[in-house]
Amino acid sequence: MALHGRPGIIGKMIVLLVLILVMAAGGIVWFDYLNLIDMKTVLAPFYRLIGREGRSQVEVPLEESLSLDAERLTVRLEALELRELEMEKREQGMLTRQAELEQMAQELEERQKALDERENSFNALVEQAEIKERNIEQYARYLNGMPPERAVGIITAMDDQAAIDVLRMTEDIAQREGATSIVSYWLSLLPPERAAELQRKMAARPPSLN
């Protein structure tokens, strides 16, 4: 029974194989017609066999093909040139910005140097004023500790500003220490003209160590 069934199976296989080949050939013809694949040269004998003129490949002339290639190349070159110009513009902008930042940094550095110099000068003046004030206070205490007549002799030999600084410091020391100031007594021992001049200047000018 198996022997009788084998020829039938072979026959079915042959039919299926032929059917597959026909469908494949039809698919190739259809895809070629739709220009999805290029089988014109292979299918040319088949077209002649059925009495039809085979479809020919549309050939682009060599000059036209070269022209298209040249046009594509020109478009790409133009794009590259535009990109290069844009990059050069950005680079120039960055260089300009860098120059501006360097100039700003230099200006800030110069301003910082000027501020440092002013601060150093101010600190030096303050230090000099503090040193001068300490010296005046020391000198005022020195005069306050000696006999009034001798102190007045020394004050008389001073210039007006130095004498005023000593007198003011002597009053300030007495005020801080809650003691009686000897300045009035010193003024009474000075020549009247000199005492009046010192009092006038002390009243007219604010306290100053300069």
User: Looking at the domain assignment, is residue 163 inside a domain?
Assistant: yes
Residue 148 contacts residue 182 (beta carbons within 8 Å): yes
pLDDT greater than 70 at residue 43: no
- Residue range of the domain that includes 176: 131-204
Query: Rounded to whole angstroms, how far apart are CA atoms 46 and 19?
Result: 18
Q: Where are the alpha helices (DSSP H) in the chain?
A: 2-33, 40-49, 62-144, 148-157, 160-177, 183-189, 192-204
- Of 27-41, 140-154, 164-178, give the lowest mean pLDDT range: 27-41
User: Looking at the domain assignment, is residue 77 inside a domain?
Assistant: no
Query: How many C-beta neighbours within 10 Å does residue 186 have?
Result: 23
pLDDT greater than 70 at residue 176: yes
Split into its structural domains, the chain has a count of: 1
Structure tokens belonging to residue 198: 């010192």
User: Looking at the domain assignment, is residue 150 inside a domain?
Assistant: yes
